[in-house]
Amino acid sequence: MNMTNQNNYVDELTLMLENSLKRMKTEKPDFMIFTVSIWTDRNANASSINFDSKNNSLRNIKESNEYDKKHYDKYVAEGDLEMAELFKQKESIRFNNPANFELSDFEEIEHSSVPPNWYSSLVKFGKFAFNKIKTELNIDVENFELGINSTKDWYDKTWNINELKSK
């Protein structure tokens, strides 16, 4: 493993986070942060930080559920319960597709390179970013969550303020 590559990746993520903190404080000081997503696309050598509000999240869930209900009803009517299952309503207040966040790709960074074991570094960085954002920015103190991507999903491992309260 190339430690320089690993350190550069984390340094670049830190720079992206610091830039986003400065911008949020000056450009969006009243924005109530409900969800933060940090993702890395290893193939593109890029990472992004995304911020969402609760209202935007709820609107996206409502639209998604309306879309899903049409398909669910159609497949149930056709007797295809296996397909219908794919379109069941989501019982959530959090929409977790960063592309639809209110401040999608708020700050991006192009990496010199992304190390093969980027995910383990991103997990450590995610915990650090969660704590930093929680103390420096305007967050929804009841429901704030930060999620990072993995090789399986754009929003996978999460840190939630409610989980911290219960520990």
Sequential DSSP letters for 55-111: HHHHHHHHHHHHHHHHHHHHHHHTT-HHHHHTTPPP--S----GGGSTEEEEEEEE-
| Rg of the chain, C-alpha, whole Å | 18
Neighbours of 85 (CB within 10 A): 11
Give the pLDDT score at 167.
39
Which whole number is the average pLDDT over 20-34? 98
Give the pLDDT score at 69.
86
- Percent helix, strand, coil in the chain (nearest 5)? 50, 20, 30
| Tally of structural domains, the chain | 1
Q: Which residues sit opposite 157 in a β-bridge?
A: 148
The structure's pTM equals 0.86
State the pairing for strand pair 145-148/35-41: parallel
Give the pLDDT score at 164.
60
Residue 165 lies in a domain: no
Closest CA to 145 of 109, 112, 99, 96: 96
108-113-117-118 Cα dihedral, nearest 10 degrees: -10
User: Do residues 33 and 138 make contact, with C-beta atoms less than 8 angstroms apart?
Assistant: yes
Which whole number is the average pLDDT over 57-67? 86
Residue 137 lies in a domain: yes
Residue 79 lies in a domain: no
Residue 148 lies in a domain: yes
pLDDT in tens, 98-150: 999 999 999 999 999 999 999 999 999 999 999 999 999 999 999 999 999 99
Which whole number is the average pLDDT over 70-87? 89
Residue range of the domain that includes 141:
3-54+93-160
Neighbours of 166 (CB within 10 A): 6
Residue 166 lies in a domain: no
Which whole number is the average pLDDT over 43-51? 97
6: three-class secondary structure by DSSP: helix
Give the pLDDT score at 2.
56
Residue 21 lies in a domain: yes
Q: Grade residue 4 by pLDDT with cuts at 50, 70 and 90.
A: low
Give the pLDDT score at 166.
44
